[in-house]
């Protein structure tokens, strides 16, 4: 069985590793960029995804690079703590939660894949330009995006579009869908070298959806030096009728632009304007997603990760859901009797599950508690329990974990997704 993967991001790399682990060896990855660039800033690997990466033998690599997040805390725009909860092992999961540089996560997946699959089967500079079916095979054509030169045609039993939010595969399957949907929120992202804050392994969110910062440390190496590489995302909702900022993960801008809405976010536990000013580079990106699709089941063609279900970065789930997709697809390709049956089973398992996360994220997911406090106590509070009860706070946190598939009891007790042909 030959599988062609279009897109060498986190989803594509994890799929290739999962297929190899499941005993499916005839795999090729085609990545549009001219090299596997370790780009991006911070990203989270939640315990349900860590479980899968552990089963792929990558736990030590994650520990060597990432910060095992121990706590998540939400604050109002006045810096008043609303809710905090233990995370990862501290929360009773059998697997840690990691905060990591996206580029380093991609790098460790890539290195593992080079060892297990071999570099010649990871084709960079190969942009999927067209594909189709012929008999019981699928074909895919690739070009060099810079020169326009053709790399020719590859045939396979299955083509998986892991080609991100601007997926060529998705656009061909759903030609009338149009561009991703912007919700009016601009995100500025960066990393700043600083000193450890709070527990040293705490992730914080401050403000409310329209004016929010998310901050967490991401580097084990700096932690060992007594410092912190602090990832931050500053999000500000502007008028929805303004033009959408350019959708390019590498688009750089000035720190002053990012910190303007956050000048008052100076607290004893974090000076947000200073953090933003301290970044080497500031990247701007619009917060976008797409509507859930009616099917990903196109027989010998399917979608995975952001190509299948781009979601708002609420609840830190984008990369984790791509990892789970990869593991489930590999598993079904072993368990089912045909590629068609495997794609149907994958679609049935993952599409409704990820659609629920996309929709929950539109309703601000677990961060609802910040919205409630902003709405009920915009000038601050003296007694939090008069604003929002402990039960309500717990219910918000629990409900999102159930929706996104990382309720601790369910995750710890469910069967492994690992299978072997
Ligand atoms: C450069 C970059 C930086 C990012 N930085 C962050 C970040 O800092 N924080 C964050 O939360 N998320 C970031 N993301 C998004 C995040 O990686 C995804 O939301 C998540 O990990 C799901 O991964 P994915 O593999 O589905 O998609 P992606 O990680 O987007 O990977 C898709 C891959 O497909 C390739 N590709 C696209 N079109 C084609 C084609 N036609 N043929 C072949 N290959 C193609 C892309 O070059 C890319 O490598 C970034 C994505 C990219 C591409």
* 170-196 pLDDT per residue, tens: 999 999 999 999 999 999 999 999 999
**Do residues 135 and 125 lie in contact, with contact meaning Cβ atoms separated by under 8 Å?**
no
Q: Does the Cβ of 11 fall within 6 Å of ligand 1?
A: yes
Q: What is the pLDDT of residue 418?
A: 95
Question: Relative to the CA of 168, which ligand 1 atom is closest?
Answer: 41
Structure tokens belonging to residue 354: 């990820």
Q: Which of 14, 100, 102, 187 gets mutated to test ligand 1 (max ligand atoms within 8 A of its CB)?
A: 102
Cα angle for residues 258, 247, 263 (degrees, 5° grid): 10
| Interval 4-21 mean pLDDT | 98
Structure tokens belonging to residue 59: 């736990």
- Identify the residue whose C-alpha is closest to ligand 1 atom 7: 40
- Identify the residue whose C-alpha is closest to ligand 1 atom 41: 128
Question: Relative to the CA of 163, which ligand 1 atom is closest?
Answer: 34
Structure tokens belonging to residue 20: 């190899």
DSSP label at residue 300 = T
Q: What are phi and psi of 190, to 5 degrees?
A: -170, 175
Q: Does the Cβ of 357 fall within 6 Å of ligand 1?
A: no
Question: Relative to the CA of 310, which ligand 1 atom is closest?
Answer: 19
For residue 20, how far is its CA from the centre of ligand 1 (angstroms)?
A: 21
pLDDT at 33 over 80: yes
Cα angle for residues 44, 255, 367 (degrees, 5° grid): 35
- Span 211-231, pLDDT tens digits: 999 999 999 999 999 999 999
Question: Relative to the CA of 44, which ligand 1 atom is closest?
Answer: 11
| Interval 147-159 mean pLDDT | 95
pLDDT at 206 over 80: yes
Q: What is the pLDDT of residue 139?
A: 98
**CA dihedral sign, ordered 18, 53, 320, 400:** positive
Structure tokens belonging to residue 64: 């060597």
Starting at the edge strand that comes first in sequence, how are the strands of the sheet with 181-194 ordered?
81-86, 71-75, 202-208, 211-217, 228-237, 181-194, 282-289, 252-253
Q: Does the Cβ of 314 fall within 6 Å of ligand 1?
A: no
pLDDT at 240 over 70: no
Q: Does the Cβ of 236 fall within 6 Å of ligand 1?
A: no
For residue 162, how far is its CA from the centre of ligand 1 (angstroms)?
A: 8
- Span 68-92, pLDDT tens digits: 999 999 999 999 999 999 999 999 9
- Span 283-302, pLDDT tens digits: 999 999 999 999 999 999 99
pLDDT class of 37 with cuts at 50, 70, 90: confident
pLDDT at 277 over 80: yes
Cα angle for residues 132, 123, 66 (degrees, 5° grid): 115
Displacement of CA 38 from its chain's centroid (Å):
15
Q: What is the pTM of this model?
A: 0.95
- Span 108-151, pLDDT tens digits: 999 999 999 999 999 999 999 999 999 899 999 999 999 999 99
pLDDT at 415 over 90: yes
pLDDT at 270 over 80: yes
For residue 233, how far is its CA from the centre of ligand 1 (angstroms)?
A: 17
For residue 135, how far is its CA from the centre of ligand 1 (angstroms)?
A: 31
For residue 284, how far is its CA from the centre of ligand 1 (angstroms)?
A: 15
Question: Relative to the CA of 321, which ligand 1 atom is closest?
Answer: 22
| Interval 261-274 mean pLDDT | 96
For residue 167, how far is its CA from the centre of ligand 1 (angstroms)?
A: 10
| Interval 13-18 mean pLDDT | 98
Between CA 342 and CA 21 the distance in angstroms is 17
Between CA 366 and CA 363 the distance in angstroms is 9
For residue 321, how far is its CA from the centre of ligand 1 (angstroms)?
A: 13
Q: Does the Cβ of 6 fall within 6 Å of ligand 1?
A: yes
Q: Which of 188, 264, 274, 194 is nearest to 232 (CA)?
A: 188
Q: What is the pLDDT of residue 365?
A: 81
Between CA 287 and CA 112 the distance in angstroms is 31
Q: What is the pLDDT of residue 245?
A: 83
Q: Which of 248, 301, 344, 245 is nearest to 40 (CA)?
A: 248
Between CA 407 and CA 401 the distance in angstroms is 5
For residue 273, how far is its CA from the centre of ligand 1 (angstroms)?
A: 28
pLDDT class of 364 with cuts at 50, 70, 90: confident
| Mean pLDDT value across the chain | 94
pLDDT at 347 over 90: yes
Q: Which of 348, 335, 265 is nearest to 302 (CA)?
A: 348
Q: Which of 31, 105, 109, 163 gets mutated to test ligand 1 (max ligand atoms within 8 A of its CB)?
A: 163
Q: What are phi and psi of 366, to 5 degrees?
A: -75, -10
């Amino acid at each position: 069985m030959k599988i062609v993967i279009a897109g060498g991001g986190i989803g594509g790399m994890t799929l290739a590793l999962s297929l190899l682990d499941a005993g499916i060896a005839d795999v090729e990855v085609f990545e549009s960029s001219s090299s596997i660039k370790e780009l991006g800033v911070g990203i989270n690997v939640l315990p349900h995804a860590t479980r899968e990466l552990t089963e792929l033998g990558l736990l030590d690599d994650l520990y060597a690079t990432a910060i095992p997040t121990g706590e998540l805390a939400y604050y109002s725009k006045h810096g008043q703590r609303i809710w905090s909860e233990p995370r990862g092992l501290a929360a009773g999961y059998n697997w840690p939660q990691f905060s990591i540089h996206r580029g380093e996560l991609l790098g460790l997946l890539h290195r593992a894949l080079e060892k297990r699959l071999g570099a010649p089967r990871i084709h960079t500079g190969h942009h999927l330009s067209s594909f189709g079916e012929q008999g019981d095979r699928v074909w895919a054509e690739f070009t060099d995006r810079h020169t326009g030169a053709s790399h020719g045609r590859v045939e396979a039993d299955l083509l998986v579009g892991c080609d991100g939010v601007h997926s060529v595969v998705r656009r061909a399957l759903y030609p009338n869908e149009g561009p991703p949907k912007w919700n009016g929120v601009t995100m500025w992202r960066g990393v700043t070298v600083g000193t450890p804050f709070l527990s040293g392994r705490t992730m914080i969110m401050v403000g409310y959806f329209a004016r929010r910062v998310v901050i967490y440390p991401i580097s084990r190496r700096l932690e060992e030096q007594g410092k912190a590489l602090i990832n931050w995302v500053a999000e500000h909702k502007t008028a929805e009728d303004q033009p959408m900022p350019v959708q390019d993960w590498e688009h750089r801008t000035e720190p002053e632009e990012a910190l303007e809405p956050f000048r008052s976010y100076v607290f004893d536990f974090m000076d947000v304007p200073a953090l933003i000013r301290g970044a080497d580079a500031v990247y701007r990106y619009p917060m976008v997603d797409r509507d859930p699709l009616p099917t990903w089941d196109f027989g010998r063609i399917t979608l995975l990760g952001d190509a299948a279900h781009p979601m708002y970065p609420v609840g830190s789930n984008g990369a984790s859901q791509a990892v789970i997709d990869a593991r489930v697809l590999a598993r079904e390709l072993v368990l089912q009797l045909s590629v068609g049956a495997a794609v149907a089973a994958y679609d049935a398992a993952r599409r409704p599950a990820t659609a629920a996360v996309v929709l929950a994220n539109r309703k601000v997911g677990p961060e609802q508690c910040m919205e409630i406090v902003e709405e009920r106590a915009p000038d601050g509070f003296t007694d939090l329990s008069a604003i929002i009860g402990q039960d309500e706070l717990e219910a918000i946190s629990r409900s999102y974990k159930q929706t996104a598939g990382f309720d601790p009891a369910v995750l710890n007790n469910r069967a492994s997704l690992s299978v072997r042909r």
